[in-house]
Structures are given as C-alpha cells and as structure tokens.
Amino acid sequence: MVATIVAEKPSAARAMAAALGGPKGQYQGVDYEITNLRGHLYEFVAPDKMVDPSLADKYQKWDLGNLPWDPDDLTWKRAPQQNVGDVIKNLRTAVQRGDEIVIATDLDPSGEGDLLFWEAIDELGFHGKRFSRMEFMDEAAASIQKAFTSRRPVKSMQDEGDYRKAMYRTQFDFLSMQWSRAATNMARSSGKDTVLRQGRLKSAMTQLVGDQLKAYNDYVKKPFFQNRFRDENDVMYTNPEEPRFDQKGQVPQQYVASPVVLDSKTMKQTAPPKLLDLAALSSMLVGKGVKAKFVLETYQKMYEAQVVSYPRTEDKTITPEQFNELAPLVDKIAAVVGVDTALLTHRTPRKTHVKPQGAHGANRPDRRCRPRWPRLSSGSV
C-alpha cells in the first residue's frame, strides 16, 4: 500500500520530505510518496463560458439590464491556471500510483487548503480513491510525523465541511463580479471612465470609507457647555449622562465643591495586548516605510525556515500545548530581540492569551530559536 501525500506547495513538500526521510520511502511501516500542488491549479472560466450558449451574450456584456445573474445558470466550469501543466502532470501520475491519497494542505480557517486539493482531484477525476487527512499546526518535523501517523480517514469531498465552506465562499466571490459591473456602469454614466472593482471585502471597505468621508464632510463644529468635575490633580471627569447646553448660562448650578470621599481602593491589573496577526504587524511597519507585501514575503520565508509560526492564522491566542513548547525558550527569544530577561517576571499561562481553542495559534516564534539570527535585508527574500 502506497500513500501519496499531496502538499500545498513545493516548500511544504520539501519540509515533509525532510521530516519523513525523503520524497519517497517508508515511515512507520507505511510506503509513501510526496507530490505537491502549487496553490490553485484551476480557476473558474469566464461567466459566459459556463452558461448555455443562448445566455452567453447576457453574461458577457457589462450591461445593468443583464443583472442580477441566476446562479442556477452557471456550471462552475474550471480551467487550468497558466504555467501549471507540469504540476498537473506530476500530480496525476503520483495520484494514479497511490492506493491512499493523503490531503496534506494547510489547515486554513477559511478551508482554502481543502479547496486547493479537492478542486484538483475533482478536475482529474480521482474520486474513487481512498482518502485521508494529515492535520498539522506547523511544518516542524515532529508535527508532520505525528500528522502522518494519525491520518484521519476521509469519506468523500462532500463530507468535508472545510471544503464545502471554501467552495461556497469562492462561488460567492465569483458572483460578486456583478458588483464590479454595476459600479463600473454607474461610474461611466457619471462620466468616469474607470473600472471599479468590488467584492465581498472591498465593497465593505468602500462603504466604511465612504460613510466616514461623508461624516467628515457633514461635520459641523458646535460648541456646548456641560457640568464636569476637575480634581486637585487637574484631571477632568465627564459624566456622559450630563446634559449639554448651547449657552453657559443655561447650565444648572446644581453642584458645589465638596471633599472627595474614598469609597475603596483596589489593585488593578492590565493584561498585555493581544498577540499580533499579519495585518496588525503590517500596519505597524508601514509607517516605517516597510510595504505589506515585503512583510508577508519575509514572514513566509521565515515560516518555511521554521523561525516563526503559520503566517495566515486568524487566531489571537495560543493553546496550552503551544505555550508549553515555547515556555522553555523564553530567554532565548528575549535574547534574539534584545529584551532583558529580568523583566520577564510573568512566566505562567494567562487566560487572556492561552486557550484550548484554536487552529494554527497566533503568530509567534517557532521552536527553532537560537540566540543570533542573520540580519534580514531586502535581499533576504
């Protein structure tokens, strides 16, 4: 029995080969062969190419009268991406040889990794094979080895919730092309010869920006008067329920100076901020002249070298297991970033940051931490 392991990309295939002992061989008594995708190997064809010929003209022309589309008209036909012919050929050959096809793509919260795999299997027509799933948080050797020996049996493509979730999302994204056509038509009718790209995320962002711009343009500064309290340290306290008045003389003089009464005194604690995700990290660095694309490329290279954890996580916390892996490395991590270890007085899990739930866990250093790393530069990626 040969297990054909399908990785998401060449770098992941190399990591798996390093963990299992080579691109093909035997691990824990199971013969295996590793092959890989290269991201999405297939894409949807144009909408006019996935409808009945009698409807092609309607779906091709950018005319408001042709909207909205009927999703039932679409066949959801795919075609190979450009320059992936060799990847598809190698994948087909490897899958044909395998008795068990192992899904070893990333475990994305969006289900993207499952979609990458299943759309290729669907197009190549290999649904009759036996399937299983490797589930791993990172590409460390121990994680890959454990995932391989603990493969989860998979009944079929349609039984995989992550695939169905991702497929519905990608179909919705395709249907949102209608918004681009509608917005572009309206722009051109207003004399603007431009293509306005819209979609699931961009449309929401456009509305947020538009609403904020309208609020800014409509804002009229209006002075008001209100009772407030200023203490002996010149700290101003405002009660949001205090009424506001247009004139100073309208404010009721219902308060008089009186001694401040100390009701109680309690020691409060402020937890550290949430762990960073890539978006937050990029926003911090963009002000320093570092482009978001460079941040992603650099982080991706560091992830592949097992210096940091999975890049595109949506988690803001880590699991107890992940905490236990990192806790012994605290002093080494501090040395890398130049933090005095004497300041690291709290070394137990915080319930705000360590929780049993999660997928990949928040962005964090990986296990392979050493006191000195080569300095990164634009040439590093």
Q: Tell me the CATH number of domain 278-380, given options 3.30.70, 1.10.290, 1.10.3470, 3.40.50.
A: 1.10.290
What pLDDT does residue 378 have? Answer: 54
What pLDDT does residue 381 have? Answer: 46
What pLDDT does residue 376 have? Answer: 58
What pLDDT does residue 108 have? Answer: 84
SS3 75: coil
Start-end of CATH 3.40.50.140 domains in the chain: 2-41+81-174
What pLDDT does residue 139 have? Answer: 80
Start-end of CATH 1.10.290 domains in the chain: 278-380
The tens place of each residue's pLDDT in the chain, 381 residues long, gives 999 999 999 989 999 999 999 999 999 999 999 999 999 999 999 999 999 999 999 999 999 999 999 999 999 999 999 999 999 999 999 999 999 999 999 988 889 999 999 999 999 999 999 999 999 877 878 889 999 999 999 999 999 999 999 999 999 999 999 999 999 999 999 999 999 988 888 889 989 999 999 999 999 999 999 999 988 899 999 999 999 999 999 999 988 888 878 899 999 988 899 888 888 899 999 989 999 999 999 998 888 887 888 888 888 898 888 898 889 999 988 988 899 999 999 999 999 999 987 777 899 988 766 655 556 555 544
Whether 97 and 62 have beta carbons less than 8 Å apart is answered as no
Alpha-carbon 337 to chain mean position: 25
Beta strand pairing status for 152-154 and 130-133? Answer: antiparallel
Whether 360 and 310 have beta carbons less than 8 Å apart is answered as yes
Residues 358 and 321: their CA atoms lie apart, in Å, by 11
Supply φ then ψ for residue 57, to 5 degrees.
-65, -40
27-65 as b/e: b if 16+ CB within 10 A: beebebbbbbbbebbbebeebeebbeeebeebbeeeeee
Residues 291 and 273: their CA atoms lie apart, in Å, by 24
What pLDDT does residue 157 have? Answer: 96
Alpha-carbon 313 to chain mean position: 5
Supply φ then ψ for residue 251, to 5 degrees.
-75, 120
Q: Please provide the CATH number assigned to the domain covering 2-41+81-174.
A: 3.40.50.140
Alpha-carbon 122 to chain mean position: 25
Angle between helical axes of 177-189 and 161-175 (0-180°, round to 10): 20
Residues 354 and 323: their CA atoms lie apart, in Å, by 7
Residues in the chain: 381
Which residue's structure tokens are 């008001």?
224
What pLDDT does residue 373 have? Answer: 58
